[in-house]
Structure 1
Amino acid sequence: MNFDEIKDVKPVRNGEVIDKSEDGENYIIKLSEDKIYEVAPIAFYVWNMCDGEKTVSQIIEEISKEANIESSQIRDPIVTVLEQLKEASLISI
C-alpha cells in the first residue's frame, strides 16, 4: 500500500477503546471478545482520526500541523501505521 493508492480513501476505525495498558503508555482496543490489541500512542492517535470523514491526505496534514513536521516527512510512517491497523482489522479502508 502506498500513499498515492490511498490518499483519497476515508478509513473507518473498528473496535472500541477499553483501557490504557498497565504501564499507562499504550492503548487497548477491543474488536471482539477474542480480539484485543495493545497499540502505541501514535497508532492510537491515527486510529482515532479514522472517522470515515477524513481522507488519508487530511489525516497526514492534520498530524503534520499538530506535530509541526513537514507532511512529506511523516507520510510514509503514517501509511505504515495505517497498513498495520488494516492488517489487524482495526480500520477498514
Structure 2
Amino acid sequence: MLRKRAKKISREQMLSSRPVRNRFLAWKERGERVFVIFKRRSSKGAVLLSKIFRIPEEKIVELDPIGARVWKMCDGQSTVEGMIETLSEENRLEYKEAEVALLQFLKTLAKRGMIGFQVPTADEADQRG
C-alpha cells in the first residue's frame, strides 16, 4: 500500500508549527506522569480479530515526567520553538540539545497517531522571524 508523502516544510514553518493532541485519545495524569489510552476499534472485523488474537480493549502508553510535560504543551497554542525554549530552560539543556530531543519525540508521537501539527503557511512562518 502506498503512503502519501508528507510535504516538505521549511525550518521556520516547523518551529512555528503548533502540536495538537489527538482528540480521540483519553489521557490521565498521575503525579508527574501521563498515561495515554488507546481504545480498540469497535468494528465487526476488529472485534472478531480481537477475540481470535486476544487483543486487549485498550492500550496504555506511559509518558515519563519530561514526556508528560511535552504532552501537556501539545495544546495547539504552544509553538515547537516555544516548547524547545521551555524544555531548554527547565532541564538546563543547550537549545540545540533540547531541539534535537524534542523533534525526535514529537516525530515518535506523530507516527503513533498521538499528535498532529498546525503548520503555518510559508508567509506566516517568515513573518515570525
Q: Is 2:85 the counterpart of 1:77?
A: no
Match of 1:18 in 2: 28
In structure 2, what is the Cα distance between the partners aligned to 1:88 and 1:11?
14
Task: Please state how far the C-alpha of 1:30 moved relative to its aligned partner.
Answer: 1.4
Cα RMSD for the two superposed structures: 2.7
Q: Secondary structure at the match of 1:29?
A: strand
Give the TM-score taking structure 2 as reference length. Answer: 0.57
In structure 2, what is the Cα distance between the partners aligned to 1:3 and 1:65?
25
In structure 2, what is the Cα distance between the partners aligned to 1:30 and 1:13?
12
In structure 2, what is the Cα distance between the partners aligned to 1:82 and 1:3?
17
- Unmatched segments (≥5 aa) in structure 2: 1-7, 41-57, 118-129
- Unmatched segments (≥5 aa) in structure 1: none
Match of 1:61 in 2: 85
Q: Secondary structure at the match of 1:18?
A: strand
Distance 1:36 1:74, change over 3 A: same
After TM superposition, the structure 1 stretch with the greater mean CA deviation from structure 2, 77-86 or 44-53, is: 44-53
Task: Please state how far the C-alpha of 1:31 moved relative to its aligned partner.
Answer: 3.7
Q: Secondary structure at the match of 1:78?
A: helix
- Name the count of aligned residue pairs: 90
Match of 1:91 in 2: 115
Q: Is 2:35 the counterpart of 1:28?
A: yes
In structure 2, what is the Cα distance between the partners aligned to 1:42 and 1:76?
14
- Whether contact under 8 Å (1:13, 1:47) holds in the other structure is yes
Please say which structure displays the higher CA radius of gyration.
2
Identical columns (%)? 30
Give the TM-score taking structure 1 as reference length. Answer: 0.76
Q: Secondary structure at the match of 2:18?
A: coil
